Amino acid sequence: METVVSGIRPTGNLHLGNYFGAIKSFLKLQEEFNCFFFIADWHSLTTHPHPDNIRNSARTILAEYLACGIDPEKATLYLQSDVRETAELYLYLNMNAGIGELMRTASFKDKARKQMHIADAESDGSVEKEIFNENNKHSVSAGLLTYPTLMAADIIIHKAVKVPVGKDQEQNMEMARRFARRFNTTYGVDLFPEPASFYMSDKAVKVPGLDGSGKMGKSEGNAIYLVDDEKTIHKKVMKAVTDAGPKEPNSKKPEVIANLFTMMEIVSSKEAYNFFDEKYNNCEIRYGDMKKQLAEDISKFCAPIRERILDIQSNEDYMAKVARIGAEKAHESAAKTLKEVRQIIGFRPE
Ligand code: TYM
């Protein structure tokens, strides 16, 4: 049976972007494949969370994974930090990863820029200049730079062939494939398959934010969380940015409006979508009505998940058991791969 791996960073509650970009695929794949879904707590260290936050956030994500319908009887659900073998593979992969290729990844540049609070950095050159500035107290960590090698290690430690992710992970996935390939060619082996991104439909999903442009994200401050109640959702949706409306029939939708429609396409019925699309094309659209419908549909979608989150969170024993069993299963799979890796590199296998 083919193996599937994916993870989510525990940096807050899960939002609609996580659900429709990743978790929806997890639910489908767990029925057919050997799935490993984990909580990427090592990855969250790039933002230097407090130890209490690390524990609490991991627990939150575990409850939310379960509430979404990830079934621990079907898929292996574990904490990244419970499988130490991944860190060893990360070390080996780093030995063959170039600083140049890591520095060129868009997400590194983006995050490095954010961490350094460089408001008006130019897209090229200035980030590098700041990185080498030893007096910079917001120094950019080697952990941030090597984020893609850790992600590659997560994936190939189980020899995964499919990785369900959202559009924003495309470049990291490309790096993962590259590092898998490089290991094979460096040692003249055929140990790691090249992992492919998996999307539910024929193209990658990007759930938009409703605040104008870009994607929905925790750090973008525009997320609608699965645990949000009806009132909160209503408030967030009603605040969505719109414009004065189309002046001519069948005009192209500007980005802010297209985002609203994309969201409706994701959570609402086809009828509701078509109704507002037609109104837009006839220049009769009333954004207030559209937002009300959207808020209602999002609430309807989130309500049962929210209920299960609260329920599962109150059952500490159950969560601890799921994490323990998941850790054992993931460890077993990882240890097997690592034995081969050590032998190939020239170390004692055990
Ligand atoms: P993270 O924690 O940022 O996001 C988790 C998953 O949610 C998807 N996602 C979205 N999809 C569509 N639209 C959005 N607005 C949106 N926001 C988030 C992400 O694409 C992702 O699939 N690097 C990863 C975590 C990771 C990982 C891995 C993933 C670590 N190791 C190994 C796969 C395999 C990340 O930061 O995801």
Share of the chain above pLDDT 90, in %: 83
- Sort 335 into a burial class: Cβ within 10 Å, 0-12 / 13-18 / 19+: middle
pLDDT tens sequence across 207-248: 999 988 789 998 788 999 999 999 999 999 999 999 999 999
Q: What is the pLDDT of residue 121?
A: 47
Mean pLDDT of the chain: 93
- At residue 203, the pLDDT reads 81
What stretch(es) of the chain map to CATH 3.40.50.620?
3-97+146-206+316-345
Closest CA relative to residue 169, chosen from 185, 154, 157, 184: 154
Q: How confident is the model at residue 130 (pLDDT cuts 50, 70, 90)?
A: low
Q: Identify the active-site residue in 24, 74, 167, 218.
A: 218
Q: What is the pLDDT of residue 135?
A: 57
What is the structure's pLDDT at 123? 47
Strand pairing partners for 6? 37
Task: Enumerate the H helices of 106-229 as residue ranges.
Answer: 106-115, 126-131, 142-145, 147-156, 170-187
Bridge partners, 37 (sequence order):
6, 77
Superfamily the domain 230-310 falls into: Tyrosyl-Transfer RNA Synthetase (1.10.240.10)
291 is catalytic: no
Residue 126 pLDDT = 60
CA distance 83 to 61: 17
- 167-211 confidence digits (pLDDT tens): 999 999 999 999 999 999 999 999 999 999 999 887 888 999 998
Class of domain 3-97+146-206+316-345: alpha beta
**CA dihedral sign, ordered 13, 63, 338, 333:** negative
Distance, CA of 11 to CA of 342 (rounded, Å): 33
- Burial-class residue 252 by CB neighbours within 10 Å (0-12, 13-18, 19+): exposed
* Distance in angstroms (rounded) separating the CA atoms of residues 73 and 14: 22
Q: Is the model's pLDDT at 81 over the cut of 70?
A: yes
Q: What residues does CATH 1.10.240.10 cover in the chain?
A: 230-310
What is the maximum span of the chain, computed from C-alpha positions, in angstroms?
72
Query: Using an 8 Å Cβ cutoff, are 224 and 238 in contact?
Result: no
The residue whose CA has the least distance to atom 17 of ligand 1 is: 17
Q: Residue range 269-291: average pLDDT? A: 97
Q: Which residue's CA is the closest to the ligand 1 atom numbered 7?
A: 18
Ligand 1 atom 27: the closest Cα is on which residue? Answer: 7
Q: Is the pLDDT of residue 25 over 90?
A: yes
The pLDDT assigned to 110 comes to 85
Q: Strand pairing partners for 215?
A: 208
The binding-site residues of ligand 1, defined as CB within 6 angstroms of any ligand atom, are 5-9, 17-18, 21-22, 40, 43, 151, 154-155, 163, 165-169, 172, 205-207, 215-217
pLDDT digits (tens, 9 = 90+) for 131-168: 655 555 556 889 999 999 999 999 999 999 999 999 99
What is the mean predicted confidence (pLDDT) over 8-37?
96
Burial 282-312 (b: 16+ CB within 10 A, else e): eeebebeebbebbbbbbbebbeebbebbeeb
